[in-house]
Structure 1
Amino acid sequence: MPTLHKVSVVFFGVLTSRWSGLCVFLCFIFRTNYPSMSVSLVLLGSIAVGYIIWYVATKWRVWRVASKAPMISGYVPIVGHAHKFLGNGVHVFNVLKDVSKETNERGGVATMWFGPYLVYVVTDPETVHKIANECLKKHFLYSFGEAFLGQGLFTARSVPIWKRNRKLLVPAFNQHILDGFLEIFNEQSRVLVSKLAVKVGTEKFDHFPALSKNALEIICRTALGVPKLGENLVTKAYSEAASKMFSIPRQRFVKFWYHNDFLYKRSSLKRQEDQVAKIVHDMSNEVMQTTKLTHKEKDTNTDNYGSGRRFKVFLDLMLELRDKGELTDQQIREELDTIIAAGYDTSSTTLMYTLLLLGSHPEVQDKVYRELTEVFGNSDRDVTKADMPKLVYTEAVLKESLRVIPIAQVLIRYAQKDVKLKNVTIPKDSTILLSVAGMHSHECWGPDVEVFRPERWISGGALIPTPAAFSAFSVGRRNCIGKTYATMSIKTSLAHLLRHYRVTADMDSFVLKHDFIIKPESGWQIALQRRN
């Protein structure tokens, strides 16, 4: 590690310490007003020097270990690499992309500094898999989303809370229940086809509003058991609030002075967060109250999807757990906010990206249509449980879309213990940035890693060397609980949409931004033509 960096980190640490800052301030006061008080000056000076020695001693091991890993370019004394992230969401997306690329070029593990704080960047799939399973504690930056999602599965930084809730909620995503959702998946897909019919033959249009509203309907009718949402729930205000829910944490991250709660609570961004959180919570509260009334009328031992706790849909299961004293109303609402806001937004965004990529690669779209014709013939029938495993190429397209444009660009964890890697040991309590984008562009995918090629997922194509190389649904033990649910829902929507419409799009004008999850900034419009 450069000597200049050690000096700058010590300087930064001293300036930001309330203890040493007070020492320096008192030394100045005494030196100015009481020059004869040399004993006090010596005492205060000794305290300051003692602190510096202590600070260096506690950081020495971190510096020594960090020196064994390459450092990302662009380092500036005192601030480290923090200056690189000052900018809008598009800028942050590009910086993270460049950092991931450089880390891959440097062997899969590199370091960055944010002032005195060291961050390990990891892109090597095998290494990421090891870290993700050993380090389950999420970084404090996830607390920026707690105003919206509380301690739900996505934002929970407490490992015991996450483990307990994950274990309690896994039965709600039993395959038997998911198969029972197919009827609703088909019904809502037909609704989506009907709504998009007015856009056939027109110029390119923004298809995301229709996709997001449809995804919200699916989430509420399936996982939450709400028979049908009213227009007063699925509003434009809610869709905009759900989008800002991801944008606000990113803005707070970039404006590092807002990491301080005292300053943040007095900012305009906090007032905006309060407004957005109210809209998000009003939605989940109304859904919860509606389901509570329905829940009271049901036989607590049976429902439409089976019998016993194992076959309860998501919200029914949570309400049952509340009745047993295992979950509180607050915990239920936090998980409800997570599955509604995070679940519907990510699934609709994934479908949007998939249609955009298919519209930009007509030869791939033709292959999907041929597969759909082989499975369904010329009929417009529903997708069945038996059809799902036959849609091999359709699923390959979905996976390849998520590889090329993952929903989450990075995952951030704390090292709960020393993590021994091939060439370096990451010290306990270090911050680790697991780059999903870096893993998805790793050399293990082959020389055509930048190419959208669904065939790589088909048997006989380029085999994936390790499961960790694909981390679109996170990686390790804290992976997405709704992975199978989302895959079935999106495959059903694609089957209906592509049997009716040919999609046209242009990736050349497509721009992405980092808003906690990856979002489009421009160029995501598509055009539709009806198939014969």
Structure 2
Amino acid sequence: MDTIKSNRLLTFFYTPKKRNLYKSASKLPGPYGLPIVGSSLRFLGQASDIYKCIDGLFLEYHSANIFKVWFGTKLVYCTADAKVFDIVFTSPHALRKEPFYNLGDKLFGGGLFSQKSIPKWRRNRKFITPAFNSQMLNSFMEVFVQRSNELIEFMRQYEKKKDVDLYDFLSRYALKTICDTAMGVNIDTEPEGDSFNHWIERALEILIERIFNIYYQIDIIFCNSALGKEFLDLCDKSRSFTRKIIVKKRQQMEEEKKNKDIYYEAAEGRKLLTFIDMLLKVTYEDNKSYFTDEEIVDETITLMGAGSDTTSNTNAFALVLLGMHQDIQEKVLAEILEVVGPERNVCVDDLPHLKFLERVIKETLRVFPVGPILARTLDGDINVGDHVLSKGGSICFGVLRLHRKNAAKIQPGSYVPFSYGPRNCLGLRYAMMTMKVILATILRRYKVFTDYKSIEEIDIKCSVMTRPINGYKLYYESRK
């Protein structure tokens, strides 16, 4: 009887569709896995422990360009090889994000970041892309400068204090900048604005713990756990605030419509359509039913959360590196003073000339990429040279491990793209512009320091974003 049950169980998991996966996996090294659960029990724990486990596997199998991990009955190919990265990320068979992103649907829904339908993703991306064209980005410059100046004035009261969370300041002003520009809504009077990024950050941290806990992948178990209840509460708060911003924008549009002051081309001295203008106009005025109300929330919370978080996180890490390397900080300052001068605000024409600052930002993204790992689902076989990655499997890229091959020596200019291909970051140019303005404004006013002495001292925790376990340890003093 036990034999019959075992055979039925084996038949359930060993299906013809998975035959190629088992065959493919047999040719690769990897950690030992138990029946049914695979190696998933290794990853139980908090975000800090999870990343140490993942990074430990990349170090253990560093001599293999690809190794395998069975996560339950799912085969995950793991690699930190640049050639494999290039082949897979430009393949039409790896457009779909790994299904574990779906576990975050309560937060981001079907936004561009997590959209699992490729046709819908293509449609939405094509529709949203014009909101980040050069003409639109240049029109944001005044806001970038205004918010950066407000930030350095706010920072004045915390000079030389080591217990200050500079990242918190950066993220708050990044969110205000996103809302001013892409949303066209001022949130200075919205009390939730100071908490939104904390809600998103904590929700993503819980999401990572859920992804790597095989038991929490069962909805009824997760949703009734303490972590699950906290996650759902954070999602509800974040999405409610996002809806509030959308309602505020719709009311503003109605007023502008009454005054006949909306939807014109800048080339004719008229108004450009922002990200949210486009979504709302096509949905409520053109009657084309492109987006439902919840889809508008999905795209908006994705932009607000990811847009403000990525830039502020990268800026904080850039300041950490510059705090470690005072000589490079002085070179950046010299360039800023040469291009912009000691008093004048940064303008659009200055940005292409801040070349060394841009290289520092890119070096920061090499050493501290936006995400420590990236994952894709394979919808077809992909030949990567020495191996064929089989349809139905997933692939996990150790982006931080790939970038850290020469991280001990800071070399501005040795940047390796952290993500590219069809699903690359839509807001890259926006991010680079705003980061240049913020860093140039801060570094001209303040000299930045950190308690970290080397990159190796900065322990990373597993999150959707690369995060330091012990914070950024930044402090600063006025140059005047």
Q: After TM superposition, give the deviation of residue 204 of structure 1 in Å.
A: 5.0
What pairs up with 1:123-522 in 2 under 5 angstroms?
123-134=80-91, 135-236=94-195, 238-296=196-254, 297-298=256-257, 299=260, 302-303=263-264, 305=266, 311-323=272-284, 324=286, 325=288, 326-378=290-342, 380-442=343-405, 448-456=406-414, 469-471=416-418, 474-508=419-453, 510-522=458-470
The change in CA–CA distance for 1:77 and 1:499 in structure 2 (over 3 A counts) is same
Q: Spell out, residue by residue over 1:281-327, the C-alpha distance to the aligned partner (whole angstroms, 9 max, x if none).
A: 12111110111011122447635855799941110011122133222
**2: CA distance, partners of 1:309 / 1:270:** 48
Q: After TM superposition, give the deviation of residue 268 of structure 1 in Å.
A: 2.3
Correspondence for 1:526? 474
- Contact preservation (8 Å) 1:100, 1:437: no
**2: CA distance, partners of 1:338 / 1:248:** 17
Q: 1:116 aligns with which of 73, 92, 107?
A: 73
The change in CA–CA distance for 1:449 and 1:310 in structure 2 (over 3 A counts) is farther
The change in CA–CA distance for 1:131 and 1:311 in structure 2 (over 3 A counts) is farther
The change in CA–CA distance for 1:231 and 1:526 in structure 2 (over 3 A counts) is same
**2: CA distance, partners of 1:499 / 1:308:** 34
- Contact preservation (8 Å) 2:45, 2:209: no
Question: Could you say what secondary structure the match of 2:462 adopts?
Answer: strand
Q: Spell out, residue by residue over 1:208-238, the C-alpha distance to the aligned partner (whole angstroms, 9 max, x if none).
A: 22111111110100010114531424233x3
- Contact preservation (8 Å) 1:174, 1:311: no
What amino acid does structure 1 have at the position aligned with 2:159? V
The change in CA–CA distance for 1:225 and 1:301 in structure 2 (over 3 A counts) is closer
What amino acid does structure 2 have at the position aligned with 1:83? L
What amino acid does structure 1 have at the position aligned with 2:274? V
Q: After TM superposition, give the deviation of residue 103 of structure 1 in Å.
A: 4.7
What amino acid does structure 1 have at the position aligned with 2:89? A
What RMSD over aligned residues (CA atoms) do the two structures have, in Å?
2.4
Correspondence for 1:18? none
Question: Could you say what secondary structure the match of 2:182 adopts?
Answer: coil
Q: After TM superposition, give the deviation of residue 102 of structure 1 in Å.
A: 4.3
Q: After TM superposition, give the deviation of residue 475 of structure 1 in Å.
A: 2.2
What amino acid does structure 1 have at the position aligned with 2:470? S
**1: CA distance, partners of 2:95 / 2:221:** 29
**2: CA distance, partners of 1:113 / 1:437:** 21
- Contact preservation (8 Å) 2:21, 2:392: no
Look at both structures and tell me which one has the larger radius of gyration over its CA atoms.
1
Question: Could you say what secondary structure the match of 1:441 adopts?
Answer: helix
Correspondence for 1:19? none
**Which stretch of the first structure deviates more once superposed, 212-221 or 430-439?**
430-439
- Contact preservation (8 Å) 1:136, 1:413: yes
**2: CA distance, partners of 1:507 / 1:341:** 28
What amino acid does structure 2 have at the position aligned with 1:524? Y
Correspondence for 1:87? 45
What amino acid does structure 2 have at the position aligned with 1:278? D
The sequence identity of aligned pairs, in percent, is 28
Task: Count matched residues.
Answer: 467
**1: CA distance, partners of 2:390 / 2:105:** 27
Correspondence for 1:13? none
- Contact preservation (8 Å) 2:264, 2:270: no
**2: CA distance, partners of 1:88 / 1:57:** 33
- Contact preservation (8 Å) 2:262, 2:271: no
Question: Structure 2: which 5+ runs fail to align?
Answer: none
**1: CA distance, partners of 2:271 / 2:117:** 26
- Contact preservation (8 Å) 2:72, 2:214: no
Question: Could you say what secondary structure the match of 2:432 adopts?
Answer: helix
Q: Spell out, residue by residue over 1:44-92, the C-alpha distance to the aligned partner (whole angstroms, 9 max, x if none).
A: 94x87477467546244322222333x23x4244344323322221122
The change in CA–CA distance for 1:56 and 1:141 in structure 2 (over 3 A counts) is closer
The change in CA–CA distance for 1:423 and 1:300 in structure 2 (over 3 A counts) is farther
Question: Could you say what secondary structure the match of 2:444 adopts?
Answer: helix
- Contact preservation (8 Å) 1:80, 1:114: yes
- Contact preservation (8 Å) 1:222, 1:313: yes
What amino acid does structure 2 have at the position aligned with 1:143? N
What pairs up with 1:36-51 in 2 under 5 angstroms?
45=4, 49=7
Correspondence for 1:7? none
**Which stretch of the first structure deviates more once superposed, 362-371 or 226-235?**
226-235
Question: Could you say what secondary structure the match of 1:397 adopts?
Answer: helix
**2: CA distance, partners of 1:264 / 1:55:** 24
TM-score between both structures, scaled by the size of structure 2: 0.91
**2: CA distance, partners of 1:516 / 1:505:** 24
- Contact preservation (8 Å) 1:68, 1:423: no
**1: CA distance, partners of 2:471 / 2:262:** 50
Correspondence for 1:40? none
